[in-house]
């Protein structure tokens, strides 16, 4: 349950999904469009010091027979392997389609999955988890509940009012194909 203050803002410890490694469906589409089922390396670097925080290999997976019209990718991390399913769904207008990832926890279709989850409502720590959607991982958007509103105090604050902080960019991986020589 989301606690709120009287002003309607979020109350409690929060972990923004923009600070967690994200696997967007656009990268999964690149993998599915690749030739010869080549494996791709995903690297998430810390934006402040450039250190590698997360590494994963992703390649085309095997789709079970019970999923008609689905595609699959296999995501390998150092101590885990996850099979993620990709579905194409029609858009409401003009006959277009869009691609979504299925969250393995709640089975809802999402545009991105996250590799870390919140450790609880009273702490700001995260742990490496299976890939899951923002809600199942206990994450919030940075703009939720007025968190991007910056107010100054005193006379200057009354004159200038409230400013808006810039929306942070999501933490996306660097993607590179891994070429395996054939011999």
With a CB cutoff of 8 Å and minimum separation 6, the contacts of 137 are 17, 20, 114, 116, 117, 118, 129
In a domain, 147, yes or no: no
* Residue 94 backbone class (left: φ over 0; alpha: ψ -120 to 50; beta: rest): left
Does residue 1 sit within a domain?
no
Q: Is residue 5 part of a domain?
A: no
pLDDT tens by residue, 106-150: 999 999 999 988 877 666 678 888 999 999 988 877 766 655 566
Examine residue 120 and state whether it is found in any structural domain, yes or no: yes
Q: Tokens representing 170?
A: 């999501």
8, with CB counted inside 10 A (0-12, 13-18, 19+), is exposed
Output helix, strand, coil percentages for the chain, rounded to the nearest 5.
15, 40, 45
Has residue 10 been placed in a domain? no
Domain extent, residue 123, equals 17-139+170-178
DSSP 16-27: BGGGSBEEEHHH
Residue 48: inside a domain: yes
Residue 155 reports pLDDT greater than 90: no
Q: Which residues contact 123 (CB under 8 A, 6 or more apart)?
A: 13
Q: Is position 3 within any domain?
A: no
**Distance, CA of 156 to CA of 137 (rounded, Å):** 39
Average pLDDT over residues 59-85: 88
Listed as own residue / partner, the contacts of 57-66 with beta carbons closer than 8 Å and 24 or more positions apart are 57/178, 58/23, 58/27, 58/28, 58/31, 59/31, 60/31, 60/32, 60/34
Residue 65 confidence class, pLDDT cut points 50, 70, 90: confident
Q: Give the length of the chain.
A: 183
Say how far apart CA 67 and CA 74 lie, in whole Å: 16
- The domain tally of the chain equals 1
The tens digit of pLDDT for each residue in 95-109 reads 888 899 999 999 999
**Where on the phi/psi map is residue 53: left (φ > 0), alpha (ψ -120 to 50), or beta?**
alpha
Q: Which of 13-27, 71-85, 165-179 has the highest mean pLDDT?
A: 71-85
Band (pLDDT 50/70/90 cuts) for residue 25 is very high
Q: Is residue 132 part of a domain?
A: yes
């Amino acid at each position: 349950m989301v606690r709120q203050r009287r002003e309607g803002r979020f109350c409690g410890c929060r972990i923004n999904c923009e600070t967690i490694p994200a696997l967007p469906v656009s990268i999964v589409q690149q993998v599915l469009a690749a030739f010869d089922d080549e494996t791709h390396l995903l690297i998430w670097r810390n934006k402040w010091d450039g250190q590698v925080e997360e590494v994963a290999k992703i390649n085309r997976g095997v789709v079970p027979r019970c999923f008609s019209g689905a595609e699959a990718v296999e995501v390998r991390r150092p101590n885990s392997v996850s099979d993620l399913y990709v579905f194409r769904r029609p858009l409401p207008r003009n006959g277009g389609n869009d691609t979504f990832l299925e969250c393995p926890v709640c089975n809802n279709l999402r545009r991105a999955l996250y590799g870390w989850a919140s450790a609880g409502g009273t702490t700001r720590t995260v742990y490496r988890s299976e890939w899951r959607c923002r809600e199942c991982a206990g994450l919030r958007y940075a703009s939720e509940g007025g968190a991007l509103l910056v107010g100054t105090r005193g006379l200057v604050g009354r004159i200038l009012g409230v400013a808006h902080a810039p929306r942070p960019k999501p933490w996306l991986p660097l993607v590179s194909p891994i070429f395996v020589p054939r011999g």
